[in-house]
Amino acid sequence: MAAFKHLFSQTQRHYFSKTPPQHNLSSLILRRLFSAEPDPDANPNFRKPLPIQPVSYPTRNQPPQSQETQSQSQSQPESPPEQISPQADPGTRTWTRDEMRYIKDAPVISPVSYPSRVAPLPEDRVKAEEEGSKNESDELETERRRIDDERWNAMMTRRRVLGEEQEDDNVAFPTLIKVENDDSKSKKKRKVIYDLKEAIRAVKGDNKRNFDETLEAHVKMTPELRRTDLKLSGFVRLPHGFGKTYRVAVFAEGAAADEARDAGADIVGGPELVESLRSGEVKINFDKCIATPSMMEHVKKLSKNLKQLMPDAKKGTVTNDISKTVKDAKAQSVIFKKDKTAIVHVGLGKVSFSEEALRENVGAFVNALLLAKPAGLKKSSKYAGYVDSFHICSTMGRSFHISIQSLSMAADRYNRLQLQ
């Protein structure tokens, strides 16, 4: 190792010296071993490289020179290009790759330093998001102002062209205008409750038919009355009548037949009347039919002929008290009964009656409805828990919702009149 270092120092000293070294055998051998240049003696066909002369080309797109610079360049002679002498300073000459391997004092390349990257902390992320949202809000505000300006300019231009008057109110952008739909189907109707007097007056004012319509009452009872074990039925004698003359037929014999004639029955007969109606000799031109229990064996044969007029004990038309039943039927009493949906439908007179007469008829019906309240109905007072709603209407007119207070006042007034 020491011998190798000695040989290397000798070679370096002879090589870097300015005076041409004396070539000996050892230096030539080392130079050939550690040099990349080819040996001309070993290869007889070796050709030395031709010297390459530099070629200069004119530059493109040179900026135009002023007259002063052109005169200065013409006055000053061009300096010849610098030539590098072969015996230049070793520090400034170019070195081959093999030669650079044995140079001690090689130029040191300074390392390049890059800034260190550190992961952001959660606080930094929050700050960055706040800054981003602030920038975004600023952009939206700028865009909103630009749209407002464009809208204002367009409005002013239209006013100048069409000659419209300026409005004092400045509507902010954007403006949502609620469009009202006048369609009755889509527009929700507002629930209005009327007083009894006002409702009767409205029903009479809505009467525009060619015939005398009937004033109808539709009472929606509590849903508990939909039970089959709770029955609601009765009859009411209207103070001013129903506006129609009823013809009453009575099937009775003996004293009961004479009693029916005295009470005002229109048709009275026994088994012979049943056979006449069955054969068609006598037409059915009566509105109500009453019979005694002993005559029901013969009246059953007319079930197909009488149909709805067939006497029934549940309706009170099969009874031994003929006189009272006939008087009630001739007195234009009205029978009411709840249906499966717990609603009572009944007629209470003609629309041509006076407002006071119709009001008394409604009061009489409300009083009878309160008297017919079932005993098994729970959690109910006079009206609450028993009557849900009360509507009146004409035969072909619209209905009106009546307040419970006005109905109670009409029923109390009817009771005072009966006591007098």
* DSSP H/E element including 326: helix 322-330
83-92, 130-139, 369-378: the lowest-pLDDT one: 83-92
Interaxial angle between packed helices 355-371 and 404-419, expressed in degrees from 0 to 180 and rounded to the nearest 10: 90
Cβ-proximal residues to 127 (8 Å cutoff; 6+ apart), any chain: none
Distance CA 18, CA 15 (A): 8
Q: Identify the pLDDT of residue 407.
A: 92
Query: Domain map of the chain by residue range?
Result: 190-244+332-420, 245-330
pLDDT tens, position by position, 140-164: 888 888 888 888 888 888 777 766 5
Percent of the chain past pLDDT 70, that is, above it, reads: 69
Strands 400-402 vs 333-337: parallel, antiparallel or unpaired:
unpaired
16-20, 43-47, 133-137, 314-318: the lowest-pLDDT one: 16-20
Distance CA 185, CA 190 (A): 13
- Position 308 pLDDT exceeds 90: no
- Position 359 pLDDT exceeds 90: yes
Tokens of 329: 């039927």
- Position 372 pLDDT exceeds 50: yes
- Position 174 pLDDT exceeds 70: no
Q: Identify the pLDDT of residue 134.
A: 74
184-198, 203-217, 232-246, 279-293: the lowest-pLDDT one: 184-198
Tokens of 336: 């009411």
Q: Kindly report the average pLDDT of the chain as a whole number.
A: 76
Q: CATH for 190-244+332-420?
A: 3.30.190.20
- Position 48 pLDDT exceeds 50: yes
Q: Identify the pLDDT of residue 116.
A: 75
pLDDT tens, position by position, 17-35: 545 555 556 666 666 665 5
Tokens of 81: 């290009």
Cβ-proximal residues to 73 (8 Å cutoff; 6+ apart), any chain: 65
Which residue bears the tokens 């031109």?
285
Q: Identify the pLDDT of residue 217.
A: 93
Q: Identify the pLDDT of residue 390.
A: 94
- Position 203 pLDDT exceeds 80: yes
How crowded is residue 321: how many other Cβ atoms within 10 Å of its Cβ? 13
Q: What is the largest CA-CA distance in the chain?
A: 181
165-169, 240-244, 335-339, 373-377: the lowest-pLDDT one: 165-169
Model confidence band, residue 277 (pLDDT cutoffs 50, 70, 90): confident
Q: Identify the pLDDT of residue 246.
A: 80
Is the domain covering 245-330 a CATH 1.10.3720.10 domain? no
Q: Identify the pLDDT of residue 292.
A: 92
Q: Identify the pLDDT of residue 83.
A: 43
Instruction: Report the candidate in 262, 263, 311 with the shortest Cα–Cα distance to residue 286.
Output: 311
Asked if 260 and 250 count as a contact pair (C-beta separation under 8 A), the reply is yes
| Chain centroid to CA 130 | 34
Q: Where are the extended beta strands (E) located within 44-84? A: none
CA distances from residue 250 to 8, 129, 260, 289, 329 in whole angstroms, order as listed? 158, 98, 7, 6, 11
Interaxial angle between packed helices 196-205 and 355-371, expressed in degrees from 0 to 180 and rounded to the nearest 10: 130
Asked if 263 and 222 count as a contact pair (C-beta separation under 8 A), the reply is no
